[in-house]
Structure 1
């Protein structure tokens, strides 16, 4: 089944390239950008559910901390009270994980499909002569900077009520993860690095759309 997903993604990418041919600008780079937007649109309901769940969990962190401190000598009682709080606030602590689990096979298949894709007779895009080969400087920098932007905005929108330990860990990931992915992108095929760059850009737009109602509210301003 995993190979079937890989083949399907490869076929969709080739179909999108043929669309660019039809409109007179044949480009696998444009096809990858279109594929990224298409995948993000398909996964948008799951992403929205995941982000809303993360926001709800962050909002409850102060109350959870109070319950943990209040019943620090009674861990079972603390757990019962926390579960009661989840029920009262209608928050499912697993709701943020399930969408990610559903998305992972698709993302892994996409990674594999782009890593092995044959880009045919028009493999270049902008300054990249061949999307099958790594771009050692510019795309890795763009991958790192766009991922940093996405994570920074996500933390601003969902991490206002994070516990100090959690906030410190988030801050560490904010700098470590983009640098790591940018470093790895130096050895990725340029087509895959282009996908990750676009994935972060579209992901940032997604977050702003999903959290837009809160941005102008008193809650979003805090």
Structure 2
């Protein structure tokens, strides 16, 4: 954890010197973090899109094999093994965010700068919370926006992460809200880019429903 904290402190210092604005510096640090996680994110989206195609295959198998649950599961397992689909990768990415947030918080505690931000002039220090609560609300909005890209199965699954985020950020240092907001915005853009047919086919190489069907014995 201390390695991450030290790295964030170094990055924050360099970006603040470069930009003269702590808000922009935190956004750039977040961008660096997302770039480091990009290979993992790409794999997550590939598995997500493959799983979506796999659901169509499952419907076909259910029709073909009727109530032969064991046969259906066997065929699906064969396909997921062949294409190395990991359904737990989304959860792993969420887990990874926790130490990043705590490390960022730890780096802020020991971080000192007199530089402010022209974008949020009412936040006088990187250690201070947003007294107007504009940043936590924006972070919640961007978190909600990102929720529309995920395959949520209920409204509860959509609203709970947003509510938790708002409660956590309401009185936390404004820096964390900036990280949360920027991270959610980048995640939304990633989804839109990876959803493009050309990117899915050429970069992610997501197997089509037809390809998956050919794996059925």
Aligned residue number for residue 91 of structure 1: 83
Aligned residue number for residue 124 of structure 1: 116
Contact 1:131 1:189 in 2 (8 A): yes
- Residue 181 (str. 1) matches residue 169 (str. 2): no
Aligned residue number for residue 137 of structure 2: 141
- Residue 79 (str. 1) matches residue 73 (str. 2): yes
Aligned residue number for residue 55 of structure 1: 49
| CA displacement, residues 13-49 of structure 1 (integer Å, 9 cap, x when unaligned) | 22222222xxxxx222211011111111222122111
CA-CA distance at 1:124 after TM superposition: 3.3
Contact 2:146 2:188 in 1 (8 A): yes
Distance change in 2, residues 1:68/1:10 (3 Å): farther
Aligned residue number for residue 37 of structure 1: 31
How many angstroms apart in 2 are the aligned matches of 1:97 and 1:134? 34
Moved more, 71-80 or 201-210: 71-80
How many angstroms apart in 2 are the aligned matches of 1:168 and 1:109? 27
| CA displacement, residues 59-94 of structure 1 (integer Å, 9 cap, x when unaligned) | 21233255468768655433212213435xx43232
TM-score (norm 1): 0.74
CA-CA distance at 1:102 after TM superposition: 6.9
| CA displacement, residues 201-221 of structure 1 (integer Å, 9 cap, x when unaligned) | 111111111112269x9x9xx
Of 117, 132, 153 in structure 2, the residue corresponding to residue 168 of structure 1 is 153
Q: Secondary structure at the match of 1:168?
A: coil
| CA displacement, residues 104-135 of structure 1 (integer Å, 9 cap, x when unaligned) | 44x33431232131442325332312221222
Contact 1:49 1:99 in 2 (8 A): no
TM-score (norm 2): 0.75
Moved more, 135-144 or 96-105: 96-105
Contact 1:43 1:103 in 2 (8 A): no
Aligned residue number for residue 163 of structure 1: none
Contact 1:86 1:92 in 2 (8 A): yes
Distance change in 2, residues 1:124/1:68 (3 Å): farther
